[in-house]
Amino acid sequence: MARRGGCGRRAQAFAALSIAAIAALSLASCTSSISTHGHRLDAAALAQIEPGQSAQGDVIQLLGSPSSLATFDDRTWYYVSQRTERHSFYHTTVVSQDVVAIEFDEQGMVSRVDRHDLNGAREIDLVDRETPTSGNEMSVLEQFLGNIGRFNPVDDE
Protein backbone atom coordinates (compact mmCIF):
# COMPACT_ATOMS: atom_id res chain seq x y z
CA MET A 1 0.00 0.00 0.00
CA ALA A 2 1.48 3.31 -1.04
CA ARG A 3 1.62 6.27 1.31
CA ARG A 4 -0.42 9.16 0.18
CA GLY A 5 -0.30 12.70 1.42
CA GLY A 6 3.13 12.45 3.11
CA CYS A 7 4.53 15.13 0.88
CA GLY A 8 1.43 17.26 1.26
CA ARG A 9 1.62 17.15 5.06
CA ARG A 10 5.23 18.25 4.97
CA ALA A 11 4.33 21.14 2.70
CA GLN A 12 1.48 22.16 5.02
CA ALA A 13 3.76 21.96 8.06
CA PHE A 14 6.42 24.02 6.27
CA ALA A 15 3.84 26.63 5.23
CA ALA A 16 2.46 26.84 8.78
CA LEU A 17 5.96 27.18 10.21
CA SER A 18 6.81 29.88 7.65
CA ILE A 19 3.67 31.84 8.48
CA ALA A 20 4.41 31.56 12.21
CA ALA A 21 7.99 32.77 11.66
CA ILE A 22 6.82 35.75 9.58
CA ALA A 23 4.21 36.63 12.21
CA ALA A 24 6.82 36.43 14.99
CA LEU A 25 9.21 38.67 13.07
CA SER A 26 6.43 41.14 12.33
CA LEU A 27 5.50 41.36 16.00
CA ALA A 28 9.14 41.65 17.05
CA SER A 29 9.59 44.63 14.73
CA CYS A 30 6.74 46.42 16.52
CA THR A 31 8.47 46.42 19.90
CA SER A 32 10.25 49.59 20.87
CA SER A 33 13.91 49.78 21.82
CA ILE A 34 15.06 51.96 24.70
CA SER A 35 18.49 53.65 24.63
CA THR A 36 20.27 55.60 27.35
CA HIS A 37 22.81 58.23 26.29
CA GLY A 38 25.09 60.44 28.30
CA HIS A 39 26.12 60.46 31.92
CA ARG A 40 24.35 58.23 34.45
CA LEU A 41 23.71 60.32 37.51
CA ASP A 42 23.91 58.74 40.93
CA ALA A 43 21.44 60.57 43.20
CA ALA A 44 23.43 59.69 46.35
CA ALA A 45 26.66 61.07 44.85
CA LEU A 46 24.87 64.20 43.64
CA ALA A 47 23.47 64.78 47.14
CA GLN A 48 27.04 64.85 48.53
CA ILE A 49 27.92 67.92 46.43
CA GLU A 50 27.27 71.01 48.53
CA PRO A 51 27.74 74.63 47.44
CA GLY A 52 30.59 76.30 49.30
CA GLN A 53 31.95 72.98 50.59
CA SER A 54 32.78 70.84 47.54
CA ALA A 55 35.68 71.55 45.18
CA GLN A 56 36.16 70.60 41.52
CA GLY A 57 38.22 67.57 42.54
CA ASP A 58 35.38 66.35 44.78
CA VAL A 59 32.91 66.66 41.91
CA ILE A 60 35.17 64.70 39.56
CA GLN A 61 35.64 62.02 42.20
CA LEU A 62 31.89 61.71 42.85
CA LEU A 63 30.42 62.18 39.35
CA GLY A 64 33.35 61.76 36.97
CA SER A 65 34.28 64.14 34.19
CA PRO A 66 31.45 66.33 32.88
CA SER A 67 29.55 65.71 29.66
CA SER A 68 30.18 69.28 28.58
CA LEU A 69 31.65 72.60 29.73
CA ALA A 70 30.08 76.02 29.34
CA THR A 71 30.84 77.66 26.01
CA PHE A 72 32.44 80.89 27.21
CA ASP A 73 34.00 79.86 30.52
CA ASP A 74 34.99 76.56 32.07
CA ARG A 75 33.43 77.32 35.46
CA THR A 76 30.10 75.65 34.62
CA TRP A 77 30.04 71.89 34.14
CA TYR A 78 27.12 70.00 32.64
CA TYR A 79 26.22 66.37 33.28
CA VAL A 80 23.63 65.30 30.70
CA SER A 81 21.70 62.05 30.40
CA GLN A 82 18.90 61.23 27.99
CA ARG A 83 16.70 58.18 27.57
CA THR A 84 15.03 57.65 24.19
CA GLU A 85 12.52 55.14 22.88
CA ARG A 86 12.51 54.13 19.21
CA HIS A 87 9.15 52.92 17.94
CA SER A 88 10.01 52.60 14.28
CA PHE A 89 12.94 53.34 12.03
CA TYR A 90 12.56 57.13 12.00
CA HIS A 91 10.31 57.76 15.01
CA THR A 92 12.32 58.36 18.21
CA THR A 93 10.80 59.87 21.36
CA VAL A 94 12.73 61.34 24.29
CA VAL A 95 11.32 59.63 27.38
CA SER A 96 13.43 61.33 30.05
CA GLN A 97 16.23 63.86 30.20
CA ASP A 98 18.31 65.10 33.12
CA VAL A 99 20.76 67.99 33.01
CA VAL A 100 22.78 68.91 36.08
CA ALA A 101 24.65 72.22 35.87
CA ILE A 102 27.36 72.75 38.49
CA GLU A 103 28.82 76.23 38.76
CA PHE A 104 32.18 76.96 40.38
CA ASP A 105 33.57 80.21 41.77
CA GLU A 106 37.05 81.62 41.06
CA GLN A 107 38.60 79.39 43.77
CA GLY A 108 37.17 76.22 42.23
CA MET A 109 34.50 75.68 44.89
CA VAL A 110 30.93 74.75 43.97
CA SER A 111 28.76 77.86 44.05
CA ARG A 112 25.52 76.42 42.66
CA VAL A 113 23.96 73.12 41.59
CA ASP A 114 20.96 73.23 39.23
CA ARG A 115 19.00 70.24 38.02
CA HIS A 116 16.72 70.36 34.97
CA ASP A 117 14.47 67.64 33.58
CA LEU A 118 12.45 67.11 30.42
CA ASN A 119 9.67 69.41 31.65
CA GLY A 120 12.00 72.40 31.41
CA ALA A 121 13.29 71.52 27.93
CA ARG A 122 12.42 73.71 24.96
CA GLU A 123 12.31 72.92 21.27
CA ILE A 124 14.72 74.96 19.18
CA ASP A 125 13.56 76.03 15.74
CA LEU A 126 16.27 75.57 13.16
CA VAL A 127 16.78 78.26 10.56
CA ASP A 128 16.71 76.88 7.04
CA ARG A 129 18.34 79.89 5.37
CA GLU A 130 21.62 79.47 3.53
CA THR A 131 24.58 81.79 3.64
CA PRO A 132 25.22 83.17 0.15
CA THR A 133 28.68 82.57 -1.23
CA SER A 134 30.37 84.50 -3.98
CA GLY A 135 31.53 82.78 -7.13
CA ASN A 136 30.06 80.52 -9.74
CA GLU A 137 27.94 77.49 -9.15
CA MET A 138 29.46 74.83 -11.33
CA SER A 139 28.08 71.43 -12.16
CA VAL A 140 30.06 68.28 -11.46
CA LEU A 141 30.95 67.99 -15.15
CA GLU A 142 32.21 71.61 -15.25
CA GLN A 143 34.33 71.00 -12.15
CA PHE A 144 35.77 67.82 -13.65
CA LEU A 145 36.57 69.40 -17.00
CA GLY A 146 37.99 72.49 -15.29
CA ASN A 147 40.51 70.39 -13.37
CA ILE A 148 41.91 68.64 -16.43
CA GLY A 149 45.44 69.88 -17.02
CA ARG A 150 45.72 71.74 -13.72
CA PHE A 151 47.87 69.16 -12.07
CA ASN A 152 51.28 68.80 -13.64
CA PRO A 153 53.63 65.94 -12.81
CA VAL A 154 56.55 66.85 -10.57
CA ASP A 155 59.82 67.25 -12.47
CA ASP A 156 62.58 65.07 -11.03
CA GLU A 157 65.70 67.12 -11.62
Report the number of secondary-structure helices (H) and strands (E) in the chain. Answer: 4, 5
Beta bridge partners of residue 78, listed in sequence order: 68, 101
**For the domain with range 33-122, which CATH number is right: 1.10.3430, 1.10.3470, 3.30.1450, 3.30.70?**
3.30.1450
Per-residue pLDDT of 120-130, as tens digits, reads 777 778 888 88
Mean pLDDT within 42-48: 89
1 pLDDT higher than 60: no
Of 153 and 130, which is predicted with more confidence? Answer: 130
Residue 32, pLDDT > 70, answer yes
What are the domain boundaries of the chain? 33-122
Q: What is the mean pLDDT of the chain?
A: 81
pLDDT beyond 80 at 37: yes
Residue 118 contacts residue 94 (beta carbons within 8 Å): yes
